[in-house]
Amino acid sequence: MGASSKGALERLRETVKFHFHCRQNLAFLALLVGGSQLPPARLARADAPTARRPIAPTPEPLPQAPRCLGRWQGEGQNAGPVWSIDMTVTAEEGATCGVIEYPSLGCGGLLTRCHREGDRVYFTEVYTHNPGTCAPAGRIEARCEGVDMFWRWRGEDRVDTVLHRVESQPRGH
């Protein structure tokens, strides 16, 4: 290495030290002085304000944990008297994902064509016993928060109510 190269390298090192303490972009400085002899890792600082950082890809949103699984009970009412609801959700997605009973009306059946959209789960009722004692089967939209299920039934009418989670009892009680 010639004397002029050593001098240039020494000037570059001194300049780099100065700018390191000033938190300047060392890669730009090294290019100006022509110092390609420093390893690339020393040319640019990751925390320098003008240093380019790779842009991390936006992560896919994590699927929401199932919130509506379990047994739910409550009451509904449209034009007539109050009626009881007993609903058990076994999945939030799928062809069949639970059962629904209307004990005071004596009818009930399956929850089918279930799917989640955001914080809501949608079900279609298919009655399997005494369908004549209930209104025609409809669609249910549910949003679950802790022990409450905000329940909306749509069919020939619309019913909004809140069902409550039924905690399972230990066996033998």
| Residue pointed to by tokens 């009306």 | 105
> Contact 113/124 with Cβ under 8 angstroms?
yes
The pLDDT of residue 156 is: 87
Q: How far apart are the first and last CA of the chain?
A: 90
Per the rule left: phi > 0, alpha: psi between -120 and 50, beta: everything else, 49 is alpha
Which residue type does 26 have? Answer: L
The pLDDT of residue 68 is: 93
Classify domain 70-166 at the CATH class level: mainly beta
User: pTM value?
Assistant: 0.60
> Contact 131/120 with Cβ under 8 angstroms?
no
The pLDDT of residue 96 is: 96
Tens-binned pLDDT, residue by residue, of the chain (173 aa)? 566 556 666 766 665 555 454 444 544 444 445 554 545 444 445 455 555 666 766 665 545 567 899 999 999 998 889 999 999 999 999 999 999 999 999 999 999 999 999 999 999 999 999 988 988 899 999 999 999 999 999 998 999 999 999 987 555 55
Structural domain boundaries in the chain = 3-43, 70-166
The torsion of the CA quartet 36, 42, 48, 52, rounded to 10 degrees, works out to 60
